[in-house]
């Protein structure tokens, strides 16, 4: 059956902000779906709260709603747009859950919206653990066996069923206290008895242990004719016990015999059929016991997933694109394989290279967080590498990680082996070290459970790292078919062979190379990929070939559709020069991929590679404190007092000259890594002890301006003239990293004269630096005075948000300038912020993943993603952004305040507003007293130290609907930290600055007055401005 003509308008749900476990892969899949459905002639309505996505670019849908992914707003959008169908399988768990809610609350039925791609019952069978287990049992498939027992007698009966070894977990104990693993019957009796004792309800869960079993994933596709194919097999090098998102994985699977692999394949089909996913892609995970060849089904995702993005990039088979076509009626055989353009999509990709995926972690950002890798995903990004052999791929993947610092592999052999027993972010660095020291694979096998095949390869790579890369770098094509058919899609990776045999057909057209941003990490995420994709579009539109170099499999930039030629390579100088050698580009764009390409700029320039746009020297000028300070002096602009030190003593000496409080940080960092505010010499000494300057690297000390308002200004410059694209006022006071701060466009509390001054200063800096392209300048405004905090002559994190807020694609404009056009050629609006709407950006933080870490904001960036709220007024936009970020503000209930003394006046005002709005107000003793002082009733609650019943208990029991808590600025174990942690755990919005507290109060009042906020599409908002 070909295209369904009974559908006209289709609603696609995105996945919202980037969070751990749900990242840029859903932008990639969503973009593919939007493109395909538009190509097929459908009208596309899109909802996604994440402005940093390509999918929310207005050109990808007919109506783009940057609105919260919540049943209320989406129901409003459905009522307004009246789509015929909803495609929920491309926006991760968020979209799937939302679709379920919309079905359950009757919205879909009420407006006659059909769920396509997956049906409600199938979603339930896959997502509900019990239903899934029943479904698997009915299909005759095995899952890990388990039982719940309440006595030793029951436990012994259960053992017959479950079999040794088992994991015993007492019910309702914190952190599994009293549990353990039993390998013998004797151990079992002992641990069960202990567990029953530890459990307050005398109950333990007994699970068959699959720790140490091999973990495999198969990506399955099914069409409405019930034809099924496997797109890829993925093997986790880390055995069962580590979340697949945190595992180093390899495709195709390496260690299974064909016979055993086919058994998994058969079962994967049984799973997708039993669950009832009628069309589309699913991911099925298996545990395999290599000794007994026992196969257990672990779980399945009835949708496009992180693994399917990886499988698509690994094989060239675009799962999301094909899933979208299947959802609107096509069969696999009716869809062309893009790569060969001669064969249908009804086939199974086969490859002639090896793919390794490596997770990227950010534990250094979360002091106190438990860094053990478990079944709970903790990585924030990933890199993928391809090679002709496993060792080539693994070596390239290691290079692709771009670690900020080398792993510490010191210690005795035994210490290292002990570290290997606990899966960790640096597990393979340690493993390499023990191999280098001559430890055998059998010993490592015993400690890690990693399959000997991998250990043999890894030992060879560790002890002889050059052997795998002997010969010549040669660029091979990714073609889905191991060269059986000619590849039409230019998607390449480098391998090393005896003789060069490059498959690149370069043609004669001039090319421009765009360097991507590598694995996502905190401080360098999807925003930069967004800019790189825009650069590719612009280069293509200019008539040149766009050449993309990147190693992040989640992204739109590494979709082979995005550029004319895609090179899936690590972003190291050597690897990039390898691509330069075959491409001979007219120029390279390093401005758009964050720090990753910037770090390569100097080396590229020295190698004679032309850098487009702002010169390498200008970038250095802006980064180098001394030079930049001289430039500001020359322009008559002010910066906060600062000093640069290269040793602990130098830093302590310089501190008094600069004056406390101080903002300290190491040089050349993105995302405020290791940046802190210190209030005293002792505080500084403590910081320096933890972050001692290494090898003469610089430490910056800046005077921290308390109570200043921070502003981000993004501008375009052609070297002769500069144009202000947008200004963002931070909602939080200075001291919160701009990436973590809520921001408003246009600035809500600065007058026109101040805006004009910021504009003047930005233009002066841009021209003085000789910027060609983008520049971002950060200011602090204190007592009517402007201080320049820093200037970044490159695309910054704010570009996508501003572009969407003002309706001008800044990255595209910047790219045109870099390619030689002038600002005058760009037809830019005079005042891009003149629209009648307000946009608010809010950061999304991963504290729910790192429950042990303090949930307070500071100068070190810790957010993983962002959302945008757009409305006709600031309070409504702020409320939308809060709701989109997962902390919807309450409209009634109880608000709890506890603030530092300096914030007490502001707290009184907020309390009064919320009291008038019908809220019950509670506070800790001091705060309550202050609030009662202005005649607002306020009950006092105990601090934790004051004993039960205290505030943390109140939050945990659901008594509190909103927390406003400003930190005292000291240690992580403070009361405030406990309060914030409890709020995060309970899902209660927790506001940590007075200015956002005030914004929240105003938003609550606005919501009470106006009911649900109006939903607005970007196309409506920017109907008057001309999109370029």
Partner 1 sequence: MSATAYVLLEDGTKFEGEAVGADAHAVGEVVFTTGMAGYQESVTDPSFAGQLITFAYPHIGNYGVSDAAMESSGIHARAVIMREGVNHTETPGSTGGWLDWLVAEGIPAITGVDTRALVRHIRSAGSMRGGVFPASVSESTARELIEAEPSMVGADFAKTVTPSEVIRVGEGDGPLIAAIDTGIKTSIVNHLVARGAVVDLHPCSTSSATILETNPDAVFMANGPGDPAALDYVVQTLRELVGKKPVWGICLGHQLLSRAVGLDTFKLPFGHRGVNHPVKDVETGRIEITSQNHGFAVVGPGGAHTISVDEPVRFETDFGAAQLSRVNLYDRTVEGLKLLDVPAGTIQYHPEAGPGPHDAHHLFDDFLKDVQQVA
Residue 952 near partner 1 by CB under 8 A: no
Question: Which among 702, 566, 694, 690 has a CA at the least distance from the CA of 629?
Answer: 702
The nearest distance, CB 260 to partner 1, in angstroms, is 9
For 198, residues 6+ apart whose C-beta sits below 8 A from its C-beta are 170, 173, 177, 178, 179
Pick from 54, 69, 351, 775: which binds partner 1 (CB under 8 A)? 351
Pick from 104, 105, 293, 634: which binds partner 1 (CB under 8 A)? 293
Residue 352 near partner 1 by CB under 8 A: yes
Question: Which among 795, 776, 742, 309 has a CA at the least distance from the CA of 528?
Answer: 795
Residue 574 near partner 1 by CB under 8 A: no
Residue 341 near partner 1 by CB under 8 A: no
CA dihedral sign, ordered 436, 442, 444, 450: positive
- Binding mask 354-383 toward partner 1 (x if CB under 8 A, else -) reads x-----------------------------
Residue 270 near partner 1 by CB under 8 A: no
**From CA 900, how far away is CA 914, in angstroms rounded?**
19
**From CA 308, how far away is CA 833, in angstroms rounded?**
40
Cβ proximity to partner 1: between 474 and 517 the closer is: 474
Residue 483 near partner 1 by CB under 8 A: yes
Residue 408, judged by CB atoms within 10 A of its CB (0-12, 13-18, 19+), counts as exposed
Pick from 130, 138, 140, 498: which binds partner 1 (CB under 8 A)? 498
The nearest distance, CB 240 to partner 1, in angstroms, is 16
Runs of H (alpha helix) within 328-468: 390-400, 413-421, 427-436, 441-448, 452-463
Q: What are phi and psi of 720, to 5 degrees?
A: -120, -25
Cβ proximity to partner 1: between 355 and 1007 the closer is: 355
Residue 630 near partner 1 by CB under 8 A: no
- Binding mask 898-927 toward partner 1 (x if CB under 8 A, else -) reads ------------------------------
**From CA 631, how far away is CA 617, in angstroms rounded?**
13
**From CA 816, how far away is CA 681, in angstroms rounded?**
49
Cβ proximity to partner 1: between 260 and 826 the closer is: 260
**For residues 10 and 44, is the Cβ–Cβ distance under 8 A?**
yes
The nearest distance, CB 256 to partner 1, in angstroms, is 7
Binding part of the chain for partner 1, among 224-232, 395-403, 648-656, 833-841 by CB under 8 A, reads 224-232
Pick from 114, 187, 348, 790: which binds partner 1 (CB under 8 A)? 348
Pick from 111, 120, 347, 642: which binds partner 1 (CB under 8 A)? 347
Binding part of the chain for partner 1, among 253-261, 591-599, 733-741, 798-806 by CB under 8 A, reads 253-261
Cβ proximity to partner 1: between 389 and 629 the closer is: 389
Specify the pairing of strand 709-718 against strand 772-782: antiparallel
Pick from 23, 332, 385, 512: which binds partner 1 (CB under 8 A)? 332
Cβ proximity to partner 1: between 480 and 762 the closer is: 480
Residue 261 near partner 1 by CB under 8 A: yes
- Binding mask 433-472 toward partner 1 (x if CB under 8 A, else -) reads -------------------xx--x-------------xx-
**Residues 681-704: b if buried by 16+ CB within 10 A, e if exposed:** eebbeebbeebebeeeebbbbbbb
In the 3-class helix/strand/coil scheme, how is 432-486 assigned residue by residue?
A: HHHHHCCCCHHHHHHHHCCCHHHHHHHHHHHHCCCHHHCCEEEEEECCCECCCCC
Binding part of the chain for partner 1, among 152-160, 352-360, 550-558, 1020-1028 by CB under 8 A, reads 352-360
Pick from 71, 124, 276, 290: which binds partner 1 (CB under 8 A)? 290
What residues does 288 pair with on adjacent strands? 214, 295
Residue with tokens 């496997």, as numbered in its chain: 230
**From CA 24, how far away is CA 529, in angstroms rounded?**
9
**For residues 582 and 502, is the Cβ–Cβ distance under 8 A?**
yes
Pick from 79, 109, 414, 486: which binds partner 1 (CB under 8 A)? 486
Q: How many residues bind partner 1 (CB under 8 A)?
A: 52
Residue 473 near partner 1 by CB under 8 A: no
What residues does 217 pair with on adjacent strands? 234, 285
The nearest distance, CB 3 to partner 1, in angstroms, is 17
Pick from 134, 151, 225, 929: which binds partner 1 (CB under 8 A)? 225
For 792, residues 6+ apart whose C-beta sits below 8 A from its C-beta are 622, 775, 776, 777, 778
The nearest distance, CB 981 to partner 1, in angstroms, is 46
Peptide bond into 1017 cis (omega under 30): no
The nearest distance, CB 389 to partner 1, in angstroms, is 5
**From CA 908, how far away is CA 895, in angstroms rounded?**
13
Cβ proximity to partner 1: between 132 and 261 the closer is: 261
Residue 99, H or E segment: helix 92-104
Cβ proximity to partner 1: between 481 and 982 the closer is: 481
**From CA 563, how far away is CA 555, in angstroms rounded?**
13
> Residue 58 CB: number of other CB atoms within 10 A?
19
**From CA 198, how far away is CA 214, in angstroms rounded?**
32
Binding part of the chain for partner 1, among 198-206, 340-348, 694-702, 968-976 by CB under 8 A, reads 340-348
Pick from 353, 592, 779, 850: which binds partner 1 (CB under 8 A)? 353
Pick from 6, 160, 258, 466: which binds partner 1 (CB under 8 A)? 258
The nearest distance, CB 481 to partner 1, in angstroms, is 7
Angle at 1002 between CA 996 and CA 1003, to 5 degrees: 85
Chain CA centroid to CA 408, Å: 26
**Residues 526-535: b if buried by 16+ CB within 10 A, e if exposed:** bbbbbbbbbb
Pick from 134, 151, 184, 262: which binds partner 1 (CB under 8 A)? 262
User: What 8-state DSSP symbol labels residue 662?
Assistant: E
Residue 482 near partner 1 by CB under 8 A: yes
Residue 474 near partner 1 by CB under 8 A: yes
Pick from 105, 109, 197, 333: which binds partner 1 (CB under 8 A)? 333
Residues, the chain: 1028
Residue 476 near partner 1 by CB under 8 A: yes
Specify the pairing of strand 990-991 against strand 962-965: parallel
Residue 1 near partner 1 by CB under 8 A: no
Residue 821 near partner 1 by CB under 8 A: no
Binding part of the chain for partner 1, among 286-294, 371-379, 598-606, 732-740 by CB under 8 A, reads 286-294
Residue 227 near partner 1 by CB under 8 A: yes
Cβ proximity to partner 1: between 198 and 250 the closer is: 250
The nearest distance, CB 258 to partner 1, in angstroms, is 4
For 531, residues 6+ apart whose C-beta sits below 8 A from its C-beta are 591, 592, 593, 795, 799, 800, 811
Residue 508 near partner 1 by CB under 8 A: no
**From CA 548, how far away is CA 527, in angstroms rounded?**
16
The nearest distance, CB 230 to partner 1, in angstroms, is 8
Cβ proximity to partner 1: between 454 and 723 the closer is: 454
Residue 852 near partner 1 by CB under 8 A: no
Pick from 229, 439, 478, 611: which binds partner 1 (CB under 8 A)? 229
Task: Supply 619's token pair.
Answer: 């970038």
**For residues 806 and 725, is the Cβ–Cβ distance under 8 A?**
yes
Binding footprint of partner 1 on the chain (CB under 8 A): 225-227, 229, 252, 254-259, 261-262, 265-266, 290-291, 293, 332-333, 343-344, 346-354, 388-390, 452-453, 456, 470-471, 474, 476, 481-486, 497-499, 501, 503
């Amino acid at each position: 059956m070909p295209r369904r003509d009974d559908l006209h308008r289709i609603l696609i749900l995105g996945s919202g902000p980037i969070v751990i476990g749900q990242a840029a892969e859903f932008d990639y899949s969503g973009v593919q779906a939007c493109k395909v459905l538009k190509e097929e002639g459908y009208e596309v309505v899109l909802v996604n709260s994440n402005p940093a996505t390509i999918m929310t670019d207005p050109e990808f849908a007919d109506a783009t709603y940057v609105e919260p992914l919540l049943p209320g707003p989406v129901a409003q959008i459905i009522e307004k747009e009246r789509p015929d169908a909803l495609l929920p399988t491309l926006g991760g768990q968020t979209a799937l859950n939302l679709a379920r809610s919309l079905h359950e609350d009757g919205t879909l039925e009420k407006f006659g919206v059909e769920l396509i791609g997956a049906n409600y019952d199938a979603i339930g069978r896959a997502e509900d653990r019990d239903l899934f287990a029943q479904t698997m049992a009915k299909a005759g498939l095995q899952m890990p066996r388990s039982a719940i027992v309440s006595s030793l007698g029951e436990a012994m009966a259960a053992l017959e069923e479950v079999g040794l070894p088992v994991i015993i977990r007492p019910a309702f104990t914190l952190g599994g206290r009293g549990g353990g693993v039993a390998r013998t019957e004797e151990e079992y009796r002992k641990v069960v008895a202990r567990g029953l004792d530890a459990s307050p309800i005398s109950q333990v869960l007994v699970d068959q242990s699959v720790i140490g079993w091999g973990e495999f994933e198969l990506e399955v596709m099914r069409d409405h004719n019930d034809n099924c194919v496997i797109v890829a097999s993925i093997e986790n090098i880390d055995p069962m016990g580590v979340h697949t998102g945190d595992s180093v994985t390899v495709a195709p699977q390496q260690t299974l015999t064909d016979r055993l692999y086919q058994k998994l394949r058969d079962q994967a089909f049984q799973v997708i059929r039993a669950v009832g996913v009628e069309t589309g892609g699913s991911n099925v995970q298996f545990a395999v016991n290599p000794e007994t060849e026992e196969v257990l089904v672990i779980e399945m995702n009835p949708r496009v997933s992180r693994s399917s993005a990886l499988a698509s990039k690994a094989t060239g088979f675009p799962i999301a694109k094909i899933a979208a076509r299947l959802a609107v009626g096509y069969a696999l055989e009716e869809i062309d394989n893009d790569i060969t353009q001669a064969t249908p999509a009804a086939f199974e990709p086969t490859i002639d290279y090896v793919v390794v995926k490596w997770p990227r972690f950010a534990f250094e950002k979360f002091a106190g967080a438990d860094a053990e890798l478990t079944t709970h995903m903790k990585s924030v990004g990933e890199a993928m590498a391809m090679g002709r052999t496993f060792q080539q791929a693994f070596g390239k993947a290691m290079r692709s990680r771009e670690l900020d610092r080398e792993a510490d592999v010191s210690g005795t052999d035994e210490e290292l082996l002990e570290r290997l027993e606990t899966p960790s972010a640096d597990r393979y660095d340690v493993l390499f070290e023990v191999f280098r020291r001559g430890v055998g694979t059998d010993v490592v096998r015993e400690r890690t459970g990693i399959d000997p095949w991998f250990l043999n390869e890894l030992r060879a790579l560790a002890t002889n790292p050059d052997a795998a890369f002997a010969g010549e770098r040669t660029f091979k094509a990714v073609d889905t078919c191991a060269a059986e058919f000619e590849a039409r899609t230019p998607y390449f990776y480098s391998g090393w062979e005896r003789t060069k045999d490059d498959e690149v057909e370069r043609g004669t057209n001039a090319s421009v190379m765009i360097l991507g941003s590598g694995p996502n990490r905190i401080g360098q995420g999807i925003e930069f990929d967004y800019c790189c994709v825009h650069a590719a579009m612009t280069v293509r539109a200019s008539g040149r070939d766009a050449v993309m170099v990147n190693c992040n499999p989640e992204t739109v930039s590494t979709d082979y559709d995005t550029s004319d030629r895609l090179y899936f390579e690590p972003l190291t100088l050597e690897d990039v020069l390898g691509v330069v050698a075959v491409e001979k580009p007219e120029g390279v764009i390093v401005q758009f991929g964050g720090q990753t390409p910037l770090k390569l700029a100097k080396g590229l320039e020295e190698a004679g590679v032309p850098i487009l746009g702002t010169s390498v020297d200008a970038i250095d000028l802006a980064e180098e404190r001394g030079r930049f300070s001289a430039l500001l002096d020359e322009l008559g602009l002010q910066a906060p007092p600062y000093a640069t030190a290269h040793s602990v003593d130098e830093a302590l000496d310089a501190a008094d000259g600069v004056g406390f409080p101080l903002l300290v940080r190491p040089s050349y960092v993105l995302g405020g890594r290791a940046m802190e505010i210190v209030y005293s010499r002792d505080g500084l000494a403590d910081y320096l002890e933890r972050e001692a300057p290494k090898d003469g690297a610089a430490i910056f000390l800046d005077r921290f301006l308390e109570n200043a308002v921070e502003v981000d200004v993004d501008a375009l410059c052609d070297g002769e003239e500069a144009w202000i694209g947008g200004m963002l006022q931070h909602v939080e006071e200075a001291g919160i990293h701009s990436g973590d701060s809520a921001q408003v466009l246009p600035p809500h509390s600065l007058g026109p004269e101040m805006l004009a001054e910021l504009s003047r200063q930005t233009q002066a800096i841009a021209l003085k630096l000789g910027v060609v392209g983008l520049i971002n300048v950060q200011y602090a405004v204190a007592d009517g005075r402007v201080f320049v905090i820093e200037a970044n002559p490159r695309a910054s994190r704010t570009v996508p948000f501003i572009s969407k807020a003002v309706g001008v694609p800044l990255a595209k404009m910047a790219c045109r300038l870099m390619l030689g056009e002038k600002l005058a050629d760009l037809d830019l609006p005079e005042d891009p912020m003149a629209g009648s709407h307000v946009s608010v950006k809010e950061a999304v933080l991963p504290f729910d993943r790192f429950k042990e870490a303090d949930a307070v904001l500071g100068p070190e960036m810790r957010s993983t993603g962002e959302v945008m709220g757009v409305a006709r007024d600031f309070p409504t936009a702020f409320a939308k952004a809060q709701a989109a970020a997962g902390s919807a503000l309450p409209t009634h209930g109880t608000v709890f305040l506890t603030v530092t003394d300096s914030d007490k006046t502001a707290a009184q005002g907020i309390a009064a507003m919320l009291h008038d709005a019908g809220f019950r107000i509670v506070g800790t003793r001091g705060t309550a007293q202050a609030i009662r002082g202005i005649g607002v009733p306020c009950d006092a609650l105990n601090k934790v130290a004051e004993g039960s019943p205290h505030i943390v208990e109140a939050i945990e029991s659901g008594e509190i609907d909103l927390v406003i808590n400003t930190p005292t600025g000291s240690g992580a174990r403070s009361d405030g930290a406990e309060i914030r942690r409890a709020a995060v755990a309970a899902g209660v919005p927790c506001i940590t600055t007075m200015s956002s507290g005030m914004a929240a109060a105003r938003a609550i009042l606005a919501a009470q007055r106006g009911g649900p906020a109006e939903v607005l599409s970007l196309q409506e908002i920017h109907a008057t401005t001309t999109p370029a």
